Amino acid sequence: MLKNISFYLLLILLFSNYLMCTETKFVGQNEYRSSDSTWYRYKNDVKGNQVEPFRMILRKSNGTKVTGSDLSALSITNAEIQSDTLIGAFNIVTIDTTENPFIYAQRADTSSVACQSLPE
């Protein structure tokens, strides 16, 4: 009887430790979860590819190139546009690692500069 109680107590402790280590962020319809500082995209509770949170793929709603002034308008500082326009007017933007990338992605998602996703 004591073995069974100990076993269940151990399971509860392990599961609660797992829950405390996992962080979840949402950007638009996209869900991201982290465990041990590694972020993954999730869809319908299914783990997808690993993402790099300090890089965003941005696309303006009018299809023109994302510029530094677009980033400034979103109060995105310490960021650099890493590429010329990709197929479909997508741009890769790298954010300084001291900033919170999810706040920036949420700002872009609710503006004319849409955050398509954090890169996988």
What pLDDT score does 18 carry? 45
Residue 6 placed within a domain: no
Bigger pLDDT: 22 vs 10: 22
Question: Per-residue DSSP letters for the chain?
Answer: -HHHHHHHHHHHHHHHHHHHHEEEEEETTEEEEEETTEEEEEETTEEEEEE-TTEEEEEETTSPPP-HHHHHHTT--SEEE-SS--TTSEEEEEE-TTS-HHHHHHHHHTSSEEEEE---
Q: What is the pTM of this model?
A: 0.65
Residue-wise pLDDT tens digits, 28-78: 888 888 877 788 888 898 988 888 888 888 878 787 788 888 888 888 888
Residue 38 placed within a domain: yes
Residue 40 placed within a domain: yes
Residue 71 placed within a domain: yes
Residue 15 placed within a domain: no
Task: Give the domain range for residue 94.
Answer: 22-117
Residue 33 placed within a domain: yes
Mean pLDDT of 103-112: 82
Number of domains comprising the chain: 1
Residue 2 placed within a domain: no
Residue 44 placed within a domain: yes
What pLDDT score does 115 carry? 57
